[in-house]
Amino acid sequence: MPYDYKKIPANLAISVQDLSIEYKVNVENKVTLKNLLIRSTKGERTKTKDVKALQKISFDINHGSVVGIIGANGAGKSSLMRSIAGILPPSDGRVIVNGKVSTLLALGVGFNQALSGRDNIILGGLAAGLSRSEIEEKMEEIINFAALPEGFIDLPVRTYSSGMYSRVAFSVSTALNPDILLLDEALSTGDAVFKEKSFNKMRELCKSARTIVIVSHGLSTIEALCNEVIWLEKGKIIKKGSPEIVVKEYLEYLKIGKLPTSLEDF
Amino acid sequence: MVESDFEKDKENTPGEVLYADYKNVKIFEKHKNNLPNLKIYLSDFWRRKVFSLELARFSDKAEYLGSKLGKSWLVLNPLLLALVYFLLVLVIRGGGTKEAGLETLAKILIGLFTFYFAQNCINDGAQSITSGGKLILNQSFPLTLLPLSSMIKSLWQYIPTIPVYFIVIFIGRLFIPDANIILLSKSLIATPYVLICLFIISFGLSLIFATINVYFRDTGKLLTYITRIWLYATPVLWSSDILKGWHKLIVDLNPLGSVISSVTSIWVDGKLPTSENLLAMSLWAVFLLIIGGYIFISRERDFAVRL
C-alpha cells in the first residue's frame, strides 16, 4: 500500500498502522555453536516458538495527549512501546513517530551499576543524542528533581534503592525535553511525594503540547493522568477511549469490579 | 523498518493543513535484512560519537574502580606474556648472541602489544551487544557505537604499553649497545597510517564477531582458540622474512600480518613498511570495514528481538 509521506499532519504524534510484531523465541536455553553442531549431526532443527506480540493494531495519537496502555501481562504492551521507540522492528505494518522520543522502558535499564548516578546521567543523555554541554546544563535540574538523599548522586548506582533508581531515571527522561515521552511502569516504585511530583511534571509537559504514553498496572495512575486509554489483550486492541469507560470495562473483564485493591498503585 | 527522510518534501504549501517537519518524522516499517538509510544512520552515528568515547571511559573507570594495581595489570600482563614467549623463542633457537636476543625481545614486545590491542578490541567488541542488552532495549541508537566504544577502550589500554616498549628497549640498549634496534627514525611518519589501518581492521572484525555472538552465544569461547591460532600465524614470534615462496601468503592473508610486520619494521628496524604490506593492510581495512559494517548494520534491528 503506497503511503503519502507528505501528508503527515503536524499535530500527529504517533500513528500506528496495522502493526504486527512477531518473533521466534528459542525453546531451549541457549543457542550456541556447540548445540547447533550437535543438532545438525543428528539432523534436528532448533526448537522455536512463534510469539505474536501484536496483531494488526492501529491507532493515532495527537500531540498534547496522555495515553495509557493497560492489559494483562503478556498483552503486548512493552512490545508496542519498544516498537514506537524504534527498538523492535515491525513484522508488518508501520509506525510513524513525529518528534523527539525519550524513553523510560524498564526500571534501572541502561544504568551501569558500578558508576555513580551522575556518571549514569551523562551516559544516558549522550545515548539519547544530547551533547555533553547540554547535559551539563541540565545536570542541576535533573539532580534537584530526583532529590536523592544527601550525597547519593555521587555514589555507585548499586547502592541505590529501587525508588532512588526510578527517581533518577524519571528525571533524566523528562529533562531531555522530549516531544514524546514513553514510560513503561516507571512510576511504580516511587513514593507518594515523588509520584505527585512526577504527575505534575507530566501535566506540565502536556501543557506544552508534548505527548506521553504510559504503560501501567496502576489503574488510578492511568485514570488520574490520561485522557485516552488503550486496552490491549493478546496483541489486539480490545477497547480504546476515555479512561473512565475503558478502565471500568477492563475491571469488569477482570471480574473483580472496582475494588479498592486493584485501584491502588501497588 | 525504514527511516525515510523527507528531503523532497521540504516545501509545505502555505494556507493548507500544517504538515509535520520532515526532519522530525521517523517511520518504522517491515524490513528484510537490508541496510537502512545510510545517510540517516551515519548522521545519527556521528551525532552520538561522544557517547562511544564516554562509554569507553566510564566502563574503563567502572572496571578498575578503587583498584590502582588493577590497572597496572593492563601493562604487566602483555609484558610478562612477552617474556614467556621470549624465553620460548630463545630455547627453540638454542640461545644466540646478546644482541640478537634483545632484537628478538623488541620484536616480540611491540608485536605482542599491538596484537593484544586487536585481540582486546575483538573480544570486547564481540561481547558489547550481548552485554549491552539493557541499554539496547531501552533506547534506540546506532548499535555500531557499542563495538566502537570497545575499540576506544582497547586503544586506551594499548597507548600506555608503547612507552613501556620504549623504556624496556632503552634500558636494554644501555647494557647491550651493539643491538641493531633503531627506535627513532624517519620511518616513524608511516606510524599513523599503519595504526589507522590497525584500528579499522580490528573494528571491522569486532563488528563481524559481535553479530555472530548475538546469534550464537558461545562465540567467545571459539574466539579464544581463533585468536591463539591467529597469534601464531602473525609475525610476532617470528619475523616475516623467514617465510619463503607461497608461505609468504600467510602474512598477506592474515588481516593483521601486514600491520604487525610493518609495526616491527618501523619501531625495531627503523625501516618504512614495504609497499606490499601497505597495500595488503589498506585492502584489508577497506574490505573488513565494508563487510563488517554491512553484516552488522543490516542485522542490528533484529538484535533487540534476540537479546
Residue A6's pLDDT is: 66
Which position has the higher pLDDT, A155 or B72?
A155
For residues B236-255, give the mean pLDDT. 82
pLDDT tens figures, A38-74: 777 776 666 777 888 889 999 999 988 999 999 888 8
DSSP percent split of chain A into helix, strand, coil, nearest 5 = 40, 25, 35
Which position has the higher pLDDT, B245 or B124?
B124
Which position has the higher pLDDT, B13 or A163?
A163
Residue B13's pLDDT is: 44
Which position has the higher pLDDT, B268 or B12?
B268
Domains recognised in chain A with CATH numbers: 12-99+179-263 (3.40.50.300)
Contact assessment for residue A142 and residue A175, using Cβ atoms and an 8 Å cutoff: yes
pLDDT above 90 (res B31)? no
For residues B137-147, give the mean pLDDT. 88
pLDDT tens figures, B254-289: 899 999 999 999 998 888 999 989 999 999 999 999
Please tell me which residue of chain A has the smallest CA distance to B216.
A32
Which position has the higher pLDDT, B205 or B34?
B205
pTM for the full model? 0.85
With an 8 Å Cβ cutoff, are A103 and B139 in contact?
yes
Three-state SS annotation for B122-163: HHHHHHHHHHCHHHHHHCCCCCCHHHHHHHHHHHHHHCCHHH
Q: Give me the DSSP letters along A205-223.
A: HHHTT-EEEEE-S-HHHHH
pLDDT above 80 (res B95)? no
CA distance B225 to chain A (A): 14
Residue B213's pLDDT is: 92
> In this structure, what are the phi and psi dihedrals at residue B305, rounded to the nearest 5 degrees?
-70, -30
Mutant choice from A15, A92, A96 vs B, greatest count of B C-beta within 10 A = A96
Cα–Cα dist A144/A139, whole Å: 8
Least confident of B5-9, B208-212, B232-236: B5-9
- A13: contact with B, CB 8 A cutoff: no
Q: Which of these, A155, A122, A124, lies nearest to A139 by C-alpha position?
A: A122
Task: Enumerate residues 166 to 185 of chain A having a beta carbon within 8 A of any beta carbon in chain B.
Answer: 179
Which position has the higher pLDDT, A60 or B306?
A60
pLDDT above 90 (res B198)? yes
Question: What percentage of chain B has pLDDT greater than the value 70?
Answer: 93
- All residue ranges of chain A with pLDDT < 50 are 1, 258-266
pLDDT band at B16 (very low <50, low <70, confident <90, very high): low
Residue B1's pLDDT is: 39
- B215: contact with A, CB 8 A cutoff: yes
The radius of gyration of chain A's CA atoms, rounded to the nearest angstrom, is 20
For residues B157-171, give the mean pLDDT. 89
CA B109 to chain centroid: 18
Residue B279's pLDDT is: 94
